[in-house]
């Protein structure tokens, strides 16, 4: 089982307009066009069995419609996390509703959501996530399209201290372009790290060292599709000096275990 825990898709008419604009704003070229059908085709080509959708609402009024849309896109191969926005009313109630509808977790993007992950306004929501046995995947570190930096390793270290039972996945190996700080305050802590948009940006030797220092049982394969190519990312990961047992854990077994524990 190969699982990509970090992907993004959009309704067809939105994807064809928004994805090229976002890519241009970040100074990159998208790997696919951001439609759900294109993601499934990419999975087939790469040999990926399951992808987790990580939707991001940029306004409170988008939350319900986004969650309904990704809910309808779920299948045996596509798992959807829920979306939220900090200004929504009754965030604990939103979590309980998402839990009742089978969402295993939510995505938080501190830059698009304009909030630090350890902001006390989010504490009641985190308590609800723990109570509902859900998980949360955070964008972590620099976002190449957004100028703010609300999601540093120090923010997440404080959050781990405050909520040790919160099941957290930090994207981009704990913090894009923040890897020295990740090594200082996060490596070895009780948190999961995904590999999305790291390979090719962090030297391979440093990547392998960080993954092993953190523990391969707490690292998850992710790509950030459509911004990176699933097949290329998987091939790059497999080219590194990991054992088959280590690759099995990173590429799927860890994600399978997390998902099973939430269902």
Joined together, the tokens standing for residue 127 give 């308590």
pLDDT value for 258: 97
- pLDDT tens for each residue of the chain, 263 residues long: 999 999 999 999 999 999 999 999 999 999 999 999 999 999 999 999 999 999 999 999 999 999 999 999 999 999 999 999 999 999 999 999 999 999 999 999 999 999 999 999 999 999 999 999 999 999 999 999 999 999 999 999 999 999 999 999 999 999 999 999 999 999 999 999 999 999 999 999 999 999 999 999 999 999 999 999 999 999 999 999 999 999 999 999 999 999 998 86
82-100: b or e for each residue (b if 16 or more CB lie within 10 Å)? bbbbeebeebeebbbebbe
Joined together, the tokens standing for residue 165 give 């039972």
**Structural domains of the chain ordered from first start:** 3-262 (3.20.20.140)
């Amino acid at each position: 089982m190969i699982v990509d825990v970090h992907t993004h898709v959009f309704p067809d008419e939105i994807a064809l307009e928004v994805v090229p604009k976002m890519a241009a704003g970040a100074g990159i070229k998208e790997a696919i066009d951001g439609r759900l059908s294109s993601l499934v085709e990419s999975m087939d080509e790469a040999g990926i069995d399951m992808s987790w959708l990580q939707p991001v609402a940029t306004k409170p009024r988008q939350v319900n419609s986004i969650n309904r849309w990704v809910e309808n896109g779920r299948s045996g191969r596509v798992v959807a996390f829920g979306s939220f926005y900090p200004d929504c009313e009754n965030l604990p109630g939103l979590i309980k509703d998402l839990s009742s509808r089978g969402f295993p977790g939510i995505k938080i993007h501190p830059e698009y959501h304009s909030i630090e992950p350890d902001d006390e306004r989010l504490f009641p929501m985190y308590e609800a996530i723990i109570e509902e046995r859900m998980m949360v995947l955070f964008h972590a570190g620099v976002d190449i399209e957004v100028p703010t930096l609300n999601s540093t390793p120090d923010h997440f270290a404080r959050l781990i201290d405050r909520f040790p039972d919160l099941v957290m996945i930090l994207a981009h190996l704990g913090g894009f372009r923040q890897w020295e700080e990740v090594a200082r305050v996060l490596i070895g802590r009780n948190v999961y790290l995904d590999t999305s948009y790291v390979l090719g940006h962090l030297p391979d030797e440093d990547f392998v060292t960080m993954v092993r220092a953190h523990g391969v049982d707490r690292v998850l394969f992710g790509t950030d599709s459509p911004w990176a190519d699933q097949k290329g990312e998987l091939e790059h990961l497999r080219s590194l000096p990991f054992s088959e047992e280590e690759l099995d854990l990173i590429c799927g077994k860890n994600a399978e275990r997390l998902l099973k524990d939430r269902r």
